[in-house]
């Protein structure tokens, strides 16, 4: 059996996703992780990560490992998510396609040969970030493909209008203006952001366009008739447009051979989902040797501008987050090479969904600043730290990878991922001597006698007398550490095994710096 998933299903999925993000019972986070992707230290890493960044793998094992390495996350809200459409800029001399309800494999758009409306070049954004639908592109019975556009549209009239006096024949319908705040966050070379709340917005301009397309004012009015075949032998005059609606009329203009050169709507009528121009009164007596083919264009969903998402085909969504140094959750001396979107992670060991604006996904150690710390310069990102601890009467080793070290606060942020426990050469589940202890993950212990070490010269004691979230090392300024410490140790603010990873992206290594901010933009296509 033949079947299709329609464009409207894809648009519906995009709408549902945005609604899910806006639902206060959900928490979505954009996260960054994997501070040491280029080290040959385990599962998922590659020494040539930057030059040949590997594709992520869509299975539970890979995703679980990615969760291990999450460093921090920022909550996604409706202010940081927008529907997208392809960017089509207005340029003088370019021929644009008209909005048509019937593009298909048998009726491709004339310029782009698109088989679906949403791939056609039927709308533009002008230099003032105003978006317009092309209703008429100057086509006629003699030139059915249209002309190059000469007049850039700037108007905000509610009804379709020409843009200038060049006579290029274009008619545009104004839809919306991208606001400056959206330009800053969501603009790109490839896409235009679309307002989030079109159906409910109280913005006066949006409301005016939306209401103008509403059924009470503009119920499926015919706005344009496309001349696919001008025919011959016709007279000019006003004729009715028939179909399942009523009241539409058009004025037909012909040349000396009776070919139809222009059709102007004199009354749009209402209620049309299909229509035909009744040329009966303009036909010669007897048979029609050269019949014309006129296509009344059916507007979308009541009228242009009423349902913007259906009209423009918004099946893409952009997610935005900015990471900066405004909070100690996001250390400036780290690196990351993975970006993910996580839905509904849990808070610590509880069963409650985490819903703060941001979180720290790392463990942390606060060192005792008593003059015994040595080799701080060895605490670089990706370096392995260890501590000898006792578990069930046995001496074992706790391990972690450095994500950040702050010499002022003496705080090490680190993560523990499964690669540390795999075979030390193959970095997989191959059996090896010592697997009974080294294959297990152990926690650092603030009460253990052993110091925290690196293999090349760092050592320091855990400050087990410190509990809190702020510190004042200089004596004159409290510093927020971004995470709660108990006896010198802190756990991730989320349960990193919880939640659903709905997006995962491997990228070349990004090295953070105190003087920079990272704007992360993720495009989801449904």
- DSSP result, 247-309: EEEEEEEE-TT--EEEEEEEEEEE--SSEEE--GGGSPSS--SS--EEEEPPPSSSSTTTSHH
What pLDDT is recorded for position 51? 92
Check: CB of residue 475 under 8 Å from CB of residue 41: no
Residue 68 sits in the same domain as residue 207: no
Query: What is the reported pLDDT for 89?
Result: 98
**Domain match, 281 and 218 both:** yes
**Nearest C-alpha neighbor of 259 from the set 137, 142, 138:** 142
- 363-366 and 489-490 beta bridge pairing: antiparallel
Lowest mean pLDDT among 267-281, 363-377, 468-482: 468-482
The reported pLDDT for the residue numbered 149 is 98
- Residue 2 pLDDT exceeds 90: no
Question: For position 504, which CATH number holds?
Answer: 2.60.340.10
Condensed to tens digits (0 to 9), the pLDDT of residues 119-143 reads 999 999 999 999 999 999 999 888 8
Report CA Rg, the chain: 32
- pLDDT surpasses 90 at 234: yes
How far apart are the C-alpha atoms of 111 and 157, rounded to whole Å?
A: 27
CB 28 within 8 A of CB 320: no
E-assigned strand segments in 297-410: 316-323, 335-343, 346-347, 358-360, 363-366, 384-391, 394-406
User: Do residues 56 and 74 share a domain?
Assistant: yes
Per DSSP, what are the bridge partners of residue 295? 226
Contact predicate 115/108, CB 8 Å: yes
Indicate whether 240 pLDDT > 90: yes
* pLDDT given at position 254: 96
pLDDT of residue 232: 94
Instruction: Using the 3D structure, point to which of 311, 330, 347 is the last residue of a domain.
Output: 311
Query: Distance (Å, rounded) from C-alpha 18 to C-alpha 12?
Result: 10
Q: What does the pLDDT look like over 363-394, one tens digit per residue?
A: 999 999 999 999 999 999 999 999 999 998 88
> Residue 134 forms beta bridges with which residues?
172
Residues 331, 98 contacting (CB under 8 angstroms)? no
- Assess whether 155 and 291 both reside in one domain: yes
pLDDT > 70? residue 436: yes
339, 344, 345, 349: CA torsion to nearest 10 = 180
The SS3 of residue 223 is coil
Say whether both 483 and 523 belong to one domain.
Answer: no
pLDDT for position 216: 74
Give the pLDDT of residue 286.
72
Question: What is d(CA 174, CA 161) in angstroms, rounded to the nearest whole number?
Answer: 9
Q: Which residue has the higher pLDDT, 430 or 176?
A: 176
What are 513-522's pLDDT values in tens digits? 888 888 999 9
Those residues whose C-beta lies under 8 Å from the C-beta of residue 477, and which sit 6 or more positions away, are none
Q: Decide: 250 and 263 in contact? Cβ < 8 Å.
A: yes
pTM, two decimal places? 0.91
Any idea which of 91-95, 138-142, 346-350 has the lowest mean pLDDT?
138-142
Inter-residue contact 338 to 507 (CB < 8 Å): yes
**Separation of alpha carbons 430 and 436, rounded Å:** 13
pLDDT at position 42: 65
Nearest to 175 by CA among 131, 109, 224: 131
pLDDT at residue 473, rounded to an integer: 87
- Contact between residue 317 and residue 523 where contact means Cβ atoms under 8 Å apart: yes
Give the closest residue to 276 by CA, choosing from 316, 249, 309: 249
**For position 328, what pLDDT does the model report?**
66
Question: Where is the domain boundary, 311, 327, 344?
Answer: 311
Q: Chain-wide mean pLDDT for the chain?
A: 93
Residues 142 and 126 in one domain: yes
pLDDT of residue 380: 95
d(CA 416, CA 47): 20
- pLDDT confidence of 302, banded at 50, 70, 90? confident
Boundaries of domain holding 242: 84-311
> What is the pLDDT confidence band of residue 324, given thresholds at 50, 70 and 90?
confident
C-alpha–C-alpha distance, residues 38 and 15, integer Å: 38
Contact in structure between 339 and 518 (CB atoms under 8 Å): no
Report pLDDT digits (tens) over 25-56: 999 999 999 999 987 666 778 889 999 999 99
Neighbours of 79 (CB within 10 A): 12
Do residues 75 and 88 both lie within one domain?
Answer: no
CB 320 within 8 A of CB 351: no
Do 146 and 209 belong to one domain?
yes
Do residues 53 and 10 share a domain? Answer: yes
> Are 274 and 376 in the same domain?
no
Shared domain check, 197 and 229: yes
Q: Other CB atoms closer than 10 Å to residue 51's CB: what's the count?
A: 9
3-state secondary structure of 492: coil
Strand partners, 317: 83, 524
In this predicted structure, what is the pLDDT of residue 223? 94
Residue in 331, 306, 162, 127 with CA at minimum distance from that of residue 220: 306
Q: 294 and 383, same structural domain? A: no
Q: Give the CB-side neighbour count of residue 118, counting CA atoms within 13 A.
A: 18
Please write down the long-range contacts of 155-159, taking CB distance under 8 Å and 24 or more positions apart.
Answer: 156/130, 156/205, 158/208, 158/209, 158/212, 158/305, 159/212
Q: How many domains does the chain contain in total?
A: 3
Q: How far apart are CA 228 and CA 100, in angstroms?
A: 12
Beta bridge partners of 453: 386, 459
């Amino acid at each position: 059996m033949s079947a299709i998933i329609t464009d409207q299903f894809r648009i519906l999925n995009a709408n549902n996703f945005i609604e899910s993000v806006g639902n206060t019972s959900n928490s979505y986070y954009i996260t960054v992780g994997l501070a040491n992707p280029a080290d040959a230290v385990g599962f998922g890493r590659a020494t040539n990560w930057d030059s040949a960044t590997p594709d992520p793998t869509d299975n539970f094992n890979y995703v679980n490992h990615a969760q291990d390495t999450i460093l921090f996350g920022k909550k996604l809200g409706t202010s940081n998510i927008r529907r997208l459409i392809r960017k089509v800029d207005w340029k003088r001399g370019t021929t644009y396609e008209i909005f048509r309800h019937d593009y298909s494999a048998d009726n491709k758009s004339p310029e782009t040969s698109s088989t679906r409306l949403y791939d056609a070049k039927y709308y533009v954004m002008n230099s003032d970030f105003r978006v317009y639908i092309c209703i008429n592109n100057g086509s006629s019975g003699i030139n059915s493909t249209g002309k190059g556009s000469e007049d850039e549209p700037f108007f905000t009239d509610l009804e379709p209008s020409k843009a200038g006096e060049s006579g290029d024949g274009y008619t545009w319908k104004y839809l919306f203006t991208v606001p400056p705040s959206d330009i800053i966050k969501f603009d790109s070379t490839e896409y235009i952001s679309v307002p989030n709340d079109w159906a409910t917005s109280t913005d006066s301009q949006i409301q005016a366009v939306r209401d103008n397309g509403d059924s009470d004012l503009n119920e499926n009015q015919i706005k344009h008739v496309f001349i696919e075949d001008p025919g011959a032998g016709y007279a000019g005059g006003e004729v009715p447009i028939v179909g399942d609606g009523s009241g539409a009329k058009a004025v037909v203009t012909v040349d000396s051979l009776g070919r139809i050169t222009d059709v102007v709507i004199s009354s749009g009528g209402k209620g049309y989902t299909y229509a035909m121009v009744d040329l009966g009164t303009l036909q010669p007596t007897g048979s029609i040797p050269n019949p014309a083919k006129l296509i009344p264009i059916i507007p979308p969903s009541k009228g242009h501008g009423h349902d913007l998402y259906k009209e423009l085909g918004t099946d893409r969504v952009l997610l935005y987050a900015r990471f900066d140094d405004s909070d100690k959750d996001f250390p400036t001396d780290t690196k990351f090479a993975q970006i993910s979107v996580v839905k509904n992670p849990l808070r610590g060991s509880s069963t409650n969904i985490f819903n703060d604006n941001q979180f720290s996904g790392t463990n942390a150690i606060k060192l005792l600043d008593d003059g015994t710390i040595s080799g701080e310069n060895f605490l670089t990102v990706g370096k392995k730290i260890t501590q000898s601890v006792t578990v069930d009467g046995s001496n074992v080793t706790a391990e972690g990878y450095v994500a950040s070290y702050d010499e002022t606060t003496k705080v090490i942020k680190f993560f523990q991922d499964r690669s540390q426990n795999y075979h030390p050469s193959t970095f997989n589940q191959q059996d090896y001597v010592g697997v009974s202890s080294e294959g297990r993950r152990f926690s650092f212990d603030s009460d253990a006698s052993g110091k925290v070490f690196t293999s090349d010269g760092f050592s320091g004691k855990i400050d087990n007398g410190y509990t809190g979230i702020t510190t004042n090392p200089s004596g004159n300024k409290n510093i927020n550490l971004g995470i709660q410490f108990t006896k010198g140790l802190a756990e991730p603010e989320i349960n990193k095994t919880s939640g659903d990873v709905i997006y995962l992206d491997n990228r070349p290594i990004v090295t953070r710096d105190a003087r920079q901010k990272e704007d992360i933009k993720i495009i989801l296509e449904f």
